[in-house]
Structure 1
Amino acid sequence: MNGNSKPSVLVSEISGNWGGIEAFIENEVAPLQDEFDVYCIAQNDDPAIRARLSIPDDHVLTVPERYGSLAYRRHMKVIYGRGFDIIHLNKNSLVKYLPLTLARKVSPRSRCILHSHNTSPSSKSPLASLHYLIRPFMVRRAHCLLACSQTAASYLFGSYAQDSTIVRNGVDVRRFAFDERKRLEVREAWHIPADATVLINVARLSDQKNQTRLVEMFDEYRTGDPAAFLLLVGEGERRQQIERTVARLGLEPYVKLTGRQRDIGAYYSAADLAVFPSLFEGLPVAFIEAQANGIPVLASDTVTKDADVFGSMCFESLSASDAVWADHIAALSVPGRALDEDARPRAAERMEQAGYDAKNASETLRRIYRRLLAS
């Protein structure tokens, strides 16, 4: 592409909110810079995102224009015109199909990857059905199909799912190992007593992650445990809505919206139970992180069972009442504290042995890139 002896890879895309795709790019693609010249497309020039990426700043290509606009198309054509060897498109839906269409048109020699990170449309709007209408045509345009789980493969690729390769969402498991010292430090920083029950949700603050409902569940749970706390770790478009719900229920002292945090492992260590009432998921990185920390996990039954690495996650229906969820939380939260001196310190090692360490996933991706270049 530019005279560099390394093959070039363009991976997309980074959004303004750090989520599963962003974590995948940092954990599994960025480490391949020793062999590949890695570039990344970002939706905006958010300094916080750049600070978390180990990809050089001049390799982060910002495309701030509105998707589908004439300016967006022109900008994308310029980027693709550089002639990358591999274009790796990470998708939650095929509704936004232009990146693949433009890539094949502008840079026909590039090897294009479609990578599925979700199990259902992110939107309930009528436009979401477009995904299923164009799926047969778009999938055939990719040279390689990847997915974070078999369920995610079936959703994005339909009848072509059997031709895809599963690449697990790995993490640096040692960063998420339970740490008693960090447990106490985080609780002290947020004025949480050492003996309080703490629930945690690590995710983008969005409709999909369903934190507003989680706050209502937590309010119900506090009728039996009034000294409990809830940590919401992340940022997103629904923050103000969540804050209004917290205020309406009078939970300001007990619900801590921490924003983005660099040491997520410390926050898992501070908690007793991770609760994820998501409307849908692929194979979210947060589930792997939580299990690497050894914390019990309660999730909605819409979450793919592929996320349950050790067979110990618990699931509850979103149609169940807040009282039912509260009872389930109560049944799990006390054993969560008991795990501190038992299973939690060994969980990271078990996760590594199960093959969810980012190094393993990154090496799988390295082999896939090599195979594509040789084809």
Structure 2
Amino acid sequence: MIRILQCVNDMHRAGLETMLMNYYRHIDRTKIQFDFLTHRPYRSDYDDEIEALGGKIYYAPRLYPQNYPKYFKWMKQFFKEHPEYKIVHSHIDAMSYLPLKAAKMAGVPIRIAHSHSTSIDKDFKYLLKQIYRYKLNSVTTNEFSCGELAGDFLFRNKEYTIIPNAVEAKKFYFDKNVRNKIRDDMAISLNTLVLGHVGRISYPKNHKFLIDIFKEVYSMKPNSKLLIVGSGEMEKEIKSYAQESGINEQIVFLGNRSDTNLLYQAFDIFMLPSLFEGVPLVGVEAQFSDLPCFFSDKVPTEVSFGSKNHFISLQKTPKEWAQEIVNTNILPRNSYKESLINSNFDIEVAHKFLEKKYNDLFFENIGGEYEN
């Protein structure tokens, strides 16, 4: 069995984490097993399922600059105690430099950095991240990306392999009966225009602009609601902003949910006015639900495979966004079951590609492979 160490911040329910779980659930775990190295001192949403699927979870020190000596000491001991890891696959963008450097120092032969975004958060580690972004190639043996723009940004070359942000497509196919039940459960009438957003409540997702857009939509169509699914570091600030908007009663914060596939059925419009993205998993999910999707022009068009997608400039006003939204024909919605067979965004297809990639890397570098 090939054991692969997946390096993440944590395994809470968010985009790249959900993508990883989609692959993990579908790979042949008798031949390839995922284990997880996290950088948070707590258990996360997916930890119980990871362990149920046979995975191990390790908790490394936080990646604060003052922790770096402690971190590398911990990682040195970790790899000494775990020589079974021949493949380390890191998903923390520019910060992947640190675990992959530790893996290189420990002699791990296959070290993969995976790009999930087209920019860097401007937090207190911003300058360090820029430095690590330029040094990342010195510690990788292979580079993966969710899309071309994300790969070009992080790696500044064309040598990366694209791994689609794939989902369990059939879970998201539109079902009118599910739509009616979810709306009934939430006391939302069938003729209410529902805008939906799924994503971490954080800077890149641009929630204030989302609320500004909805405020304009509401002024044009008073029978409308905004459902926001997710949580995050800006949650308190965004909830306060919603409270100040004057239409707070029409904005529903649903928190982290494990049933987003059902919630998509209740939406009429999917909104993602992000400041930057890789290839957003939620955009893929929304399209499998046959929703009209309104993306900002900072979302790579690589995400688009449906026929109802709109990419709108962030230079346009909330009122201009709202006008396009209310003029959109939201019906009919179909299941797309026929047209999406064998889509690269369907995990039933995509997991086979990743399995083969891992196996080929192992065979080329270690000299063995699992049997098909």
Q: TM-score, with normalisation over the residues of structure 2? A: 0.90
Partner of 1:363: 352
**Structure 2 vs 1, CA of residues 302 and 168 (structure 1 numbering), >3 Å: closer, same or farther?**
same
Contact 2:97 2:133 in 1 (8 A): no
Gapped runs of 5+ residues in structure 1?
1-5
Corresponding letter in the other structure for 1:145: E
Identity %: 25
3-state SS of paired residue (2:37): strand
Cα deviation, 1:167-211, whole Å, max 9, x if unaligned, reads 111000001111212212221222211110000001111111111
Aligned residue identity for 2:361: L
Aligned pair partner of 1:37 in 26, 33, 36: 33
CA distance in structure 2 between the partners assigned to 1:24 and 1:192 by the alignment: 30
Q: Deviations over 1:294-348 (max 9, x none)?
A: 001001001111011135410111121111111121122xx11x123xxx222x4
Amino acid at match of 1:11: Q
Instruction: State whether residues 205 and 275 of structure 2, in contact with CA within 8 Å, keep that contact through their aligned partners in structure 1.
Output: yes
1:17–1:204: 8 Å Cα contact kept in structure 2? no
Q: Deviations over 1:21-55 (max 9, x none)?
A: 10121011343322123201232433523245466
Instruction: Verify the 8 A CA contact 1:38 1:55 in the aligned structure 2.
Output: no
1:71 and 1:181 map into 2 onto residues whose CA distance is: 54
- The 3-state SS of whatever aligns with 1:8 is strand
Residue from 59, 63, 86 that aligns with 2:60: 63
* Count of matched residue pairs: 358
Q: Which runs of 5+ in 2 are unaligned?
A: 365-372
Pick from 164, 168, 173: which aligns with 2:164? 168
Range that drifts further, 262-271 or 243-252: 243-252
**Of 9, 19, 23, the match for 1:28:** 23
> What is the distance in 2 between the residues matched to 1:255 and 1:101?
45
Alignment partner, residue 85 of structure 1: 86
Instruction: Report the AA paired with residue 360 of structure 2.
Output: R
State the match for 1:350 in structure 2. Answer: 339
Deviation of 1:77 after TM superposition, in Å, equals 2.9
Counterparts of 1:124-139 in structure 2 under 5 Å? 127-139=125-137
- Aligned in 2, Cα 1:96/1:369: closer, same or farther, shift over 3 Å? closer
Superposed displacement of residue 118, structure 1: 0.7
Q: Which residue of 2 aligns with 1:18?
A: 13
1:146-157, aligned counterparts within 5 Å?
146-157=144-155
After superposition, the Cα gap between the structure-2 partners of 1:72 and 1:131, relative to the gap in structure 1 and judged at 3 Å, is: closer
Rounded Cα–Cα distance in structure 2 between residues aligned with 1:169 and 1:282? 10
Deviations 1:94-131 (A, max 9, x none): 1452111111112x133111111111112266x53544
Which residue is equivalent to 1:73?
Answer: 72
> Distance between the aligned counterparts of 2:310 and 2:146, measured in 1?
20
Contact map agreement 1:178 1:265 (CA 8 A) in 2: no
TM-score (norm 1): 0.89
Q: Provide the rounded CA distance (Å) in 2 between the counterparts of 1:198 and 1:241.
A: 23
CA RMSD between the two structures: 2.1
